[in-house]
Structure 1
Amino acid sequence: MARWTVGTGRQENRTPRERNPLNGSHLLHTDANPHNVMIGSPDGDAYAVDWAMPAIGPAWVDAAYLATWLLSYGQSPADALGWLSGFTSWRQADPTAVETFVNATCRHWTATVGEKDAERSNARFRHLLDFPHEAPVPRRRRSSPR
């Protein structure tokens, strides 16, 4: 499985300075969108399907992708960012990492479809930069057994 790679699963979308901020240890779907969620029962069990681009990275990435889908379906930036605020990993995300994610994703879409056709998608991703992130809670180290 690949390490976190923005958008396409390729490292070249990130500059060398951008590689470290997007490191993480969480399993990511990286194509979180309404078409990749299957509701399996009347009780509402949901399943993520179409795992064509799994990666390892920061826990907040898939939630950020879903927030941009909320924007594409007409939610306001305030509503989408409000929904994102329910995720501790997003609230505590390093703003530099979020900026890196947004910049690399926008570069990818611009290179893929051209500047004019990428404008709307890139604008949705740039709304992610408006969120006031909290300082992360320091993790306590576990003491090793002796």
Structure 2
Amino acid sequence: MLVNGRAPQGDRARLVDWGWATRGASWLDAGYWVIWLIASGHAPASAERWAAEVPAWHTAPAEGIAAFAAANRNVWDEISTADPDPWTLRLAAAAATWHDHREAS
């Protein structure tokens, strides 16, 4: 929970979900969203168009996005192998789909 004492009454607290909070480039959040959007049924190009709505996405170098997609494919492969629940398998498939899309681009 984040609390901002300077915000107007009734708008001071925000509940956030940072399960894997890390420091990194400002475009990374949009990159994670791409994977979740693909897992929810978006095509990779559609998911990337949504990511492009975030101004920071435009600061990402193409090589950085490609490396990020490859790293996430590896991470989700490892996670889904260790814990093959339907949701981990879905995210692994989404990460693989995005990585393949980036490789083909």
TM-score (norm 2): 0.60
Q: Sequence identity of aligned pairs in percent? A: 25
* One-letter amino acid of the counterpart of residue 16, structure 2: V
Is residue 90 of structure 1 aligned with residue 57 of structure 2?
yes
Give 5+ residue unaligned stretches, structure 1. Answer: 1-46, 133-146
Higher helix share: 2
Matched, 1:76 2:43: yes
- Tell me how far apart the structure 2 counterparts of residues 54 and 119 of structure 1 sit (CA, whole Å): 20
**Aligned to 2:94, which of 107, 117, 121?**
121
1:63 positional shift: 1.0
Aligned-partner residue type, residue 89 of structure 1: A
Give the aligned residue type for 2:41: G
Higher strand share: 1
The 1-side partners of 2:37 and 2:77 are apart by 21
Aligned residues: 84
CA RMSD of aligned residues (A): 2.8
Residue 26 of structure 2 aligns to a residue whose secondary structure is: coil
TM-score between the two structures when normalised by the length of structure 1: 0.46
Is the contact between residue 99 and residue 129 of structure 1 (CA under 8 Å) also seen in structure 2?
yes
Tell me the distance in 1 between the aligned counterparts of 2:52 and 2:102.
13
